[in-house]
Amino acid sequence: MIFTFIVYYWILRFKPLTITIIMSDRKEHWENVYQTKQLTELSWYEPIPETSLSIIKRFKLPKDSAIIDIGGGDSLLVDYLLMLGYTNITVLDISAKAIARAKERLGEKASQVKWIVKDIIEFNPDRKYDLWHDRATFHFLLNKEEKDKYLEMVHKNLTPDGYMVLSTFSEEGPEKCSGLPVQQYSENSLPELFASYFEKIKCFTKMHITPFHTIQSFVFCSFRNKPVSSPRFLTELL
């Protein structure tokens, strides 16, 4: 009881410091994962990221559209996007080691990609994107403050009609990913959370077969950005 009180007091009193500690912990976690495991030893590994690619292809985006893969790690999505002819790709990940591995795999082609090592919660984009892709990163955000920050960031930094593809563990999926607790979502709860800023295009559940032949249930949702709303004082003036 006293311990719980002390923890709550600490979080309320020293919130920014607590968040910084959580953030440095998660960076350490992910650097360690990519230092110790090979690509094909990661449960989320896909030899071909077929589901993401088929959703992206349906948008029929021009090849020079600005695409960002959030928490891309050393996923092969960037390789396939390059193969499809996309020329304006950014990959962001909290782990420098993951980005280094992806760059090494791509060799000379790596120079055609913009690489960002950053915690998504600290990301302050200097441009707008036409497509925001996130497979299995958003679900690590557990508190409302971080989820809201993420939502607002995507909304503000996607072009007015830009697309978002978001994939998380489903309510039938695992409760942890890479040993960390995750927030599970359903085909209903994910669009509900994003409803104020995004129009749902489609949500569906997809089973992923891990390299260890276990099955993980994912939800995939695609969204279209809603126009950024005017500040209230402007709306009142009109």
Ligand X SMILES: C[S@@+](CC[C@H](N)C(=O)[O-])C[C@H]1O[C@@H](n2cnc3c(N)ncnc32)[C@H](O)[C@@H]1O
Q: How far apart are CA 90 and CA 118, in angstroms?
A: 12
> In one letter, which amino acid is 199?
E
Residues 198-227 contacting ligand X, CB under 6 A: none
Binding of ligand X at residue 79 (CB under 6 A)?
A: no
- Contact stretch for ligand X (CB under 6 A) within 72-80, 82-90, 147-155, 195-203: 72-80
Distance in Å, CB of 129 to ligand X, minimum:
15
The only residue of 95, 157, 170, 184 in contact with ligand X, by rule CB under 6 A? 95
Binding of ligand X at residue 165 (CB under 6 A)?
A: no
Distance in Å, CB of 180 to ligand X, minimum:
8
The string over 144-159, giving b where at least 16 C-beta atoms fall within 10 Å of a residue's C-beta and e elsewhere, is eebeebbbebbbebbe
Distance in Å, CB of 233 to ligand X, minimum:
33
Collect all residues with Cβ–Cβ distance below 8 Å to 132 and sequence separation of at least 6: 68, 70, 154, 157, 158, 162, 163, 164, 165
- Contact stretch for ligand X (CB under 6 A) within 7-15, 83-91, 135-143, 194-202: 135-143
Binding of ligand X at residue 119 (CB under 6 A)?
A: yes
User: Which tokens is 220 given?
Assistant: 């995939």
- Cβ(211)–Cβ(38) below 8 Å: no
- Cβ(47)–Cβ(76) below 8 Å: yes
Site residues, ligand X (CB under 6 A): 26, 30, 44, 71-73, 75, 93-95, 98, 119-121, 135-137, 140, 177-178
